[in-house]
Structure 1
Amino acid sequence: MDLSTDLMCRTEKLNGTLASTADHQNRRTGEISTELMHICHLDRTRPLQQTAAKVERHAGPPFTMLSFML
């Protein structure tokens, strides 16, 4: 295998890994958003933004922008 073919194969593999990671992250963010909605539905005394802020503080990246997505 020549260098350009090897480079192309490695780039495709990396792109696939990144896409898979992004898909997983999007699913996980969706799961957390759904769970937040359930929590806020059950506990109407706690606003959604306040719950999201609490998750952001404890979960860290990539959920630091969670309150803006809701």
Structure 2
Amino acid sequence: MDKLRPLTSDELDALQRYAAKHGRRWKSVLRDAWMGLPPHDDGGTLRSLRNSHGPTWLATFQLPKPGSC
């Protein structure tokens, strides 16, 4: 499998905003949205990230700790 490219700052920001909006279960909410289930709020940058990195990547991704960026 090819190595995935690093996230852009816009992608990381979008993920951090999504996590803040949806709380500790944000990954499962986003995964469901990526599969076409509600809340259907994964447009733009997050949808592009789904296409480039995918749900398997999301399962292992961890947001950076505050102050580590």
Larger Rg: 1
- What band does the TM-score fall into relative to the shorter chain? 0.3 to 0.5
TM-score by length of 1: 0.36
More helix by share: 1
